[in-house]
Amino acid sequence: MAKIVLELDAPDPAVEAAVEALVQDELRKRLKGRIQTMICQQHARTPTVTVRGRVGSRFDYHVTGCCHDFVRRVKCRLEE
């Protein structure tokens, strides 16, 4: 199963917790829907996607995985 990590930047920890609770379900569902079935055909590994963002602006997706090819495929899928 693909792993989704959220790193949200908020003004203070209380706000961050509240915002994270709000967005994480939605974001996780959306991302997992796209990549949960993705598995590297060479290494049989799943990707990790780290979402970094500031509240109220765009999120950045950072994908890590077992090899360059697979990471590239996951990124393509996320950007569709």
Name which position in 6, 10, 38, 66 contacts Zn ion (CB under 5 A): 66
What is the spatial distance between Cα 40 and Cα 75, in angstroms, rounded to a whole number?
13
Please say which residue, 6 or 40, places its beta carbon nearer to Zn ion. 40
What is the spatial distance between Cα 62 and Cα 11, in angstroms, rounded to a whole number?
22
DSSP helix/strand/coil, 77:
helix
Does residue number 70 form part of the binding site for Zn ion (CB under 5 A)?
yes
Of 16-24, 30-38, 40-48, 54-62, which part binds Zn ion (CB under 5 A)?
40-48
Does residue number 42 form part of the binding site for Zn ion (CB under 5 A)?
yes
Name which position in 62, 67, 72, 76 contacts Zn ion (CB under 5 A): 67
Name residue 12's amino acid. D
Name residue 2's amino acid. A
